[in-house]
Structure 1
C-alpha cells in the first residue's frame, strides 16, 4: 500500500491494520487512527538491522488486487488481504524456534514461536519477538 508522504497515512486505514515499514524496519499497527510501533530493539543486540527492500521497490502496486475472507458486509475495507469477522481471529502459523528452523525467511514474515510462546517477526536481517517477558 502506498503511504501519503505528507500525512504519513495509508488511504482508508482502519484500526487493526498491520504493516512492515521498510523506512525504519519496524512492524506497526493502526490504533485509534494512528500508527503505533510494535517492534522493539533487542536489548542484547541493540537497534534493529536495516532491511533490503530493493526488490519490492522495482514493482508496481496493482490497486485492485485483494483477497477478502470472512464477513463481506463492509466492502469499503481496503487491503491486499482483508480478514473480517466479529467473532473470529487470525491464527498465525506455529513454528518451534523459527529463528533456528525457518531457513530463508522473507522480510515481514510473522509466526507464533511455540517454544518461546511469543510472536516472531523477521525484519529482513533479524528476528523480533513479541510477548510476555
Structure 2
C-alpha cells in the first residue's frame, strides 16, 4: 500500500511538470506540443507579451539562457525577440499608452510559471522549457481586421497570411 501511495503523487507531479498544456481546448495537437491554444475559426484572442520599461534589466544574469524571449519594450514601443545576446525588433515603434501598470506585489526574484520542467535558468513570466516540444500560438484570421481592440504586445498566428503577427500599440507587423 505504501508503494502505491508514494507512486501516485510522484506520477501526478511528473505529468503536471512535464506535461502538455491546452488553453481553451480539451487536448493539445500532437505529441511535440508544450502549449496549445483554442482552434476556433472565430478566435480573436492572442498572447499578450510582458512589457518592460527597457530591455537592460529584462533578463537574468546569464542572458544566454533567455534565447527565445519575447517582450514589449516600453522605452521605444516595440515588440522584441532575444537571440544570441541581441534584442531584435519584431515591429516598428508603436504606442505604449494603452499599457496599464502592474500594481501587484510580486517578488523581484520571482521565477514566474515554468512549463516543461521543474526548474529553469531562464527568467520570464511564462517559461516554456523543452528540448523537443514547441508552442502553437493562438490562431487568428486577419488580426488587423478581426481583433477589434488589440493590446500592445499581442502576438498570434495569422491563418490567412500564414505568418506571425505582432501588435505594437499602433499597427500589426507580420513575419513569415
Shared fold (TM-score greater than 0.5)? Answer: yes
Distance in 1 between the 2:152 and 2:51 partners?
Answer: 18
Correspondence for 1:78 among 112, 123, 128: 123
Kept in 1, the 8 Å contact 2:80–2:90? The answer is yes
User: More helix by proportion, 1 or 2?
Assistant: 2
Trace 1:1-133 onto structure 2 (pairs within 5 A).
Answer: 8-12=56-60, 13=63, 14-39=66-91, 41=92, 48-53=93-98, 55-56=100-101, 59=103, 62-63=106-107, 64=110, 66-72=112-118, 74-131=119-176
- Aligned-partner SS, 1:78: coil
Structure 2 unmatched runs, 5+: 1-49
- Aligned-partner SS, 1:55: coil
Kept in 2, the 8 Å contact 1:3–1:11? The answer is no
User: Which structure has the larger Rg?
Assistant: 2
Q: Report the counterpart of residue 45 of structure 2 in structure 1.
A: none
Shift of 1:4: 9.1
Moved over 6 A (4+): 1-5
After superposition, the CA RMSD in angstroms is 2.6
Structure 1 unmatched runs, 5+: 42-47
Q: Report the counterpart of residue 27 of structure 2 in structure 1.
A: none
Structure 1 residues 61, 19: CA separation in 2 closer, same or farther (over 3 Å shift)? farther
Distance in 2 between the 1:52 and 1:93 partners?
Answer: 24
Count of residue pairs brought into register by the alignment? 121
